[in-house]
Amino acid sequence: MAMPQSAVEPQQAKAAPPAFESWGRYPKYDAKIVPLNWQCDFPGVMSGLETAALPVGLGRSYGDVCLLKDGTLLLTTGMDRLLNFDPATGILTAEAGVSLAQILDFAVPRGFFLPVTPGTKYVTLGGAIANDIHGKNHEAAGSFGNHVPSFELVRSDGSRRICSPNQNADWFAATIGGMGLTGVITWAQLKLRPIVSRKIDYEGIQFHGIDEFLDLKQRYQHVEYTVSWVDCASTGRNFARGVFMLGEHSKVPGELKPSPEPKLSVPFDLPGFALNHTTVSLFNSVFFHKQMKAHVKTVQDYEPFFYPLDAVLHWNRGYGKRGLVQFQYAIPWQHAKEGTIEILREIAKSGLASFLAVLKAFGNIPSLGMMSFPQAGIMLALDFPIKPDLTFPLLKRLGDMTLEFGGRLYSAKDAAMTPAQFQAFYPQWQQFAQYRDPRLNSSFWERVTGGGSTL
């Protein structure tokens, strides 16, 4: 069971990568990792800790929202027990460290599915609440927090609160989208939705330009899941070309077996030059023309529809050691079209092309979180490889443009917002700060509040 403690070498100072990385692998910060395996572990584990701490899950947020430089990361993935399920209501109660993949393994064979799912199933329930994540069905379903009837929040002073829209409503609102800063979520409820099949009725439609995208969005607004891939690298005739993808859970009863374990993985870092303008343009062209016809209709499994990249574990290693940064905005309808065109132009001009650019309309269902990202309008998300002299000035420009058009950036994807930008995107931040647990902090929060730890 146990091993030679002699094998415990002190961690090598410089060479070793940090024990916990965010998905963008930038920035890289060392931190001590303390597991929370049980609901009763927090705040007991904090005694004797001199640093601030931050609860974290599977590290799928991209920037520093899940990092705390020289602090303590409270790893919640050991708190992964399913506690109760009521098939009559679809309400699952589970510990916060359970992953959405584990929830799917449980739910799908019983004829249920996640009410909202992001582009990866390897996030924890607690992380999904803390970042109030959204999915392809935002117009129909709102964000993740809209489907969480209640959860328990434990603070470092030992106080425990059951939070729901009716009970401790202010703590409920502060914790949804609260970036893990309001306390530790020990368990949460999630209202699952029924399905009769794993299959998705899928359609893919090519478009050229934002006008065509908006027409498609209008025409298919009754369809539950919609998302578009957009080519950010092309200019001229191909500017803002893309594929509008839509899907609905099949209504034809089918097999409800659990998903197999993924087999592919990028085992090591690709060299930094692996993803350059040529390879990315090539990828984008292949993706665009993979669908040879302008309009494709098919039935596919939910895995490739919702989680195309989960099939390759650690795909982020494709960006090499330096990592990647994401940029994701939501601009309200008033300026959504012009803002998106301007920003896409700026990106294409920069030549820092992106592998995956995702374009989507957000709907009108308001998020319940005080600091939630989604708002009605257009959302664009894309990756950039890190080229220090180029990427960060571009991100600064794009952030300022987003602000000009009345939009905001997504904290869970960010590694570059300035304090001024953040405080303009989220003017309610000081109100939120009152709900922060004094012993919890994140590198993101320190960065965008300019030393938030003193608040």
Partner 1 sequence: MSTLATQPAAAAILVDPNSKIAKKILVLGATSGIAEATCRIWAAEGAQMFLVARNAEKLAAVAADLKLRGASYVGTAVADLDDTDKHAELLTHAVNSLTGMDIAYLAHGILGGQARGEQDFEHAAQIIYTNFLAPVSLLTWLANYCVQRHAGVIAVLSSVAGERGRKSNYIYASSKAGLTAFLSGLRNRIDREGVTVMTIKPGPVNTSMTAHMNIRKADVKKVAATIVKAIDKRVDTLYVPIIFLPIMFIVRHIPERIFKKLNL
What minimum distance in Å lies between the beta carbon of 73 and partner 1? 13
Does position 2 interact with partner 1 (CB under 8 A)? The reply is yes
Specify the residue, 88 or 252, whose C-beta has the smaller distance to partner 1.
88
Site string for partner 1, 9-48 (x = CB under 8 A): xxx----------------------xx-xxxx--------
Contacting range for partner 1; rule: CB under 8 A; set: 1-9, 142-150, 221-229, 357-365: 1-9
DSSP 231-295: -SS--GGGTTEEEEEEEEE-SS----PPPPPP-EE--SPPPGGGS-HHHHHHHHHHHHHHS-SSE
What minimum distance in Å lies between the beta carbon of 183 and partner 1? 19
Structure token digits, residue 161: 């609160």
What minimum distance in Å lies between the beta carbon of 37 and partner 1? 5
Specify the residue, 107 or 240, whose C-beta has the smaller distance to partner 1.
107
List, in order, residues 6 or more apart from 26 with CB less than 8 Å away.
Answer: 63, 322, 323, 324, 325, 386, 415
Site string for partner 1, 56-85 (x = CB under 8 A): ----------------------x--xxxxx
What minimum distance in Å lies between the beta carbon of 38 and partner 1? 5
State the Cα–Cα distance between residues 122 and 24, nearest whole angstrom: 15
Specify the residue, 98 or 331, whose C-beta has the smaller distance to partner 1.
98
For 363-388, letters b (16+ CB in 10 Å) and e give beeebbbbbbbbbbbbbbbbbbbbee
Task: Please answer whether residues 116 and 133 qualify as being in contact, where contact means their C-beta atoms are separated by less than 8 angstroms.
Answer: yes
Contacting range for partner 1; rule: CB under 8 A; set: 8-16, 48-56, 160-168, 440-448: 8-16
Nearest one of 447, 332, 360 to 63, comparing CA atoms:
447
Does position 254 interact with partner 1 (CB under 8 A)? The reply is no
Number of residues that bind partner 1 (CB under 8 A): 25
Phi-psi region of 288 (alpha: psi -120 to 50; beta: other; left: phi over 0): alpha
Q: Give kind and range of the element (H or E) at residue 154.
A: strand 151-154
Map the footprint of partner 1 across residues 92-121, applying CB under 8 A.
95, 106
Q: Give kind and range of the element (H or E) at residue 214.
A: helix 210-219
Among 7, 252, 286, 292, binds partner 1 (CB under 8 A): 7
Dihedral angle over CA of 353, 302, 329, 434, nearest 10 = -140
What minimum distance in Å lies between the beta carbon of 94 and partner 1? 9
What minimum distance in Å lies between the beta carbon of 35 and partner 1? 5
Chain residues binding partner 1 by CB under 8 A are 1-11, 34-35, 37-40, 78, 81-85, 95, 106
